[in-house]
A and B are shown apart, each in its own frame.
Chain A
Amino acid sequence: MADYGLKVWDSAGTLILDLTDTITRLRYSGEVAAGVDGSIVLSDINGKSTVEIGVALEDEKLPHFVSRSGTTISWTAKSNPYYDSSNSLVLVFLYT
C-alpha cells in the first residue's frame, strides 16, 4: 500500500509528524468530587481506542478509578482508613 497522510517539519527541520506516527487527542476532561461516583457517555468513541485516567488533585489522597465499557466512561471513588478519596481529574484521550 502506498503511504498517505502528512509529514510535518518544524522550523529547525526536525520531522515532528510522520506518516506512521500515532499521536493523541484529548476527548474529555473534567474534575470530579471526592467520594462521588459518576459516568458519561461519549458516543463518538465507539470503535476507537482510548486511554482513561483518574488523577488525584489532593495531596495524600486516592484518585477515582476510571474505566470504560462501550461508550460509557465511569469513575468510582476510592478510599480506605489511611487514605481519603480525592477530588480527581478524569481524562480520556483518543489514539486511533
Chain B
Amino acid sequence: MSDYGLKIINAGSEVQIDSIYKNYCLLDSGVTALNLSDSSFQEVDFINTTKVPIVAWRPNSSWGSAYVGLKKSGANFIDAWFLSQYDSGGGVNSIAWIVFVSGNVNAIPSYGLVVYNSSGEVVFSSDDNYMRIQSVYTGSLGNISVKDADNNYFILMPVFPMKYAGGGIHYPIVVFFTMGLKKVNSTTISVEEFAFGGVDNPSYITGGFIPSTCTLIEVNI
C-alpha cells in the first residue's frame, strides 16, 4: 500500500513528521542523586509507561555516569537504571535525566495539529513536546564538543559496554569499568571509561570489552 497522509520536511530536507512513524515526545524528567559508593544498577523512577522509552541524561563535572538499562513491571517500563563512578568514601553524583516516548503523552488538543497513522495512532500532537536532536557525534572516546552541556541531554551508545581488569594489590582486586559521560565545561562532554565496582576474590582477572568509538546524541525539547 502506498503511503498517504502528511509528510513534513524541514529546511534541511529532513523528514520531521510523516504518517507512518511516531515521533518521540517528553514523558518525564528530573534530577537524581546517584550514590557514589553503590556499585549496582541504581533506579531512577519515571512515570510508568507501556510505550517504548528513550532515556537521555546530563552528567555533572565531578563524576562519571552511565545509563545502563530499563526496569519493567509487567508491560510497563517503570525505572531507568544508571551506574555511577565508584568512590568508597560515598557522596552523591547528581544527574539530570529525561525520558521520551513515541506518539503522544498529553490529551489530544481541541485545536492545533494532530497527525495519525493508518492505524489511528497519534504520531504527532501539538500539545506535546518533541525530542529535538541538537548534534550527533560518532568517533573516538574523549572530549566532544557539544552545543550546551549545561541544559541539553545526551544519549550514549553503545549502552553499558563493560570490561574488568586487575587492580593490583589494592581493593578491589578486579575492577569493573564501563563507558560513560562527564561534563568538562559548558560546551564539552567527555566520553570516558570509569570504574564502577569490582570484586575482591576474582575467578577471572581480565576480560570484557569497551569499544574505542561511540555515538553521542545531544537532545533537548
Residues of A within 8 A of B (CB): 1, 3-6, 8-11, 16-17, 19-27, 29, 49, 51-63, 65-66, 78, 80-83, 86, 89, 91, 93-96
Partner of B133, one of A6, A57, A65, A95: A95
Contact of B69 among A51, A86, A91 (CB under 8 A): A86
Which B residue's beta carbon lies closest to that of A51?
B217
**Whole-angstrom distance between the alpha carbons of A80 and B130 in the complex?**
38
Q: From residue A3, how far is it (CB to closest CB) to chain B in Å?
A: 5
B159→A54 contact, CB < 8 A: yes
Asked whether B162 is an interface residue with its Cβ less than 8 Å from the other chain, the reply is yes
Residues of A within 8 A of B209 (CB): 78
Q: In the bound complex, what is the Cα–Cα distance between A9 and B18 (angstroms)? A: 18
Interface majority SS (helix, strand, loop, mixed), chain A: loop
- The answer to whether B81 has its CB under 8 Å from any CB of chain A is yes
State how many angstroms separate the Cβ of A96 from the closest Cβ of chain B: 4
Closest CB-CB distance, A68 to chain B, in whole Å? 11
B30 at interface, CB cutoff 8 A: no
Q: Are A56 and B159 in contact (CB under 8 A)?
A: yes
Q: Shortest beta-carbon distance, B196 to chain A, in Å?
A: 11
> Which 5 residue pairs of A and B lie closest in terms of their CB atoms, listed nearest first?
A56-B69, A25-B21, A26-B102, A22-B133, A96-B14
Task: Report how far A63 CA is from B70 CA in the complex, Å.
Answer: 10
Q: Are B24 and A93 in contact (CB under 8 A)?
A: yes
In angstroms, Cα B159 to Cα A66, docked, is: 9
How far, in Å, is B124 (CB) from chain A's closest CB?
Answer: 8
Q: Do A59 and B69 contact each other (CB < 8 Å), given the known contacts A26-B102, A95-B136? A: yes
Task: List which B132-179 residues lie within 8 A (CB) of chain A.
Answer: 132-133, 136, 155, 157-162, 164, 176
- Chain B residues within 8 Å of A49, by CB: 136
Q: Is the CB of B204 within 8 A of A82?
A: yes
Say how far A42's CB is from chain B's closest CB, in angstroms: 11
Separation of A22 and B221 alpha carbons in the complex (Å): 11
- Residues of chain B contacted by A20 (CB below 8 angstroms): 10-12
**Pair B22/A26 contact, Cβ less than 8 Å:** yes
- Whether the Cβ atoms of A8 and B10 lie closer than 8 Å is no
Within 8 Å of chain A (Cβ to Cβ): is B188? Answer: no
* Complex contacts, A60 vs chain B, CB 8 Å: 40-41
Asked whether B158 lies within 8 Å of A56 as measured between CB atoms, the reply is: no
* B32 contacts partner chain A, Cβ-Cβ < 8 Å: no
Closest to B111 in A: A11
Closest to B204 in A: A81
Provide the bound-state CA to CA distance between A53 and B159, in Å.
7
Given contacts A8-B112, A57-B72, contact A52 B162 (CB under 8 A): no
Whether the pair A62, B157 counts as a contact (CB closer than 8 A) is no
Q: Which residue of A lies closest to B26 (CB)?
A: A16
**Docked-complex contact A80 and B132, CB < 8 angstroms:** no
Knowing A5-B10, A57-B72, A80-B208, the reply to whether A23 touches B131 (Cβ < 8 A) is: yes
25 contacts between A and B (CB under 8 A): A8-B113, A9-B126, A10-B126, A11-B109, A16-B128, A17-B126, A19-B10, A21-B130, A23-B16, A23-B132, A24-B131, A25-B24, A26-B22, A51-B155, A54-B158, A55-B69, A56-B70, A61-B69, A63-B68, A81-B204, A82-B176, A82-B199, A93-B54, A94-B21, A96-B14
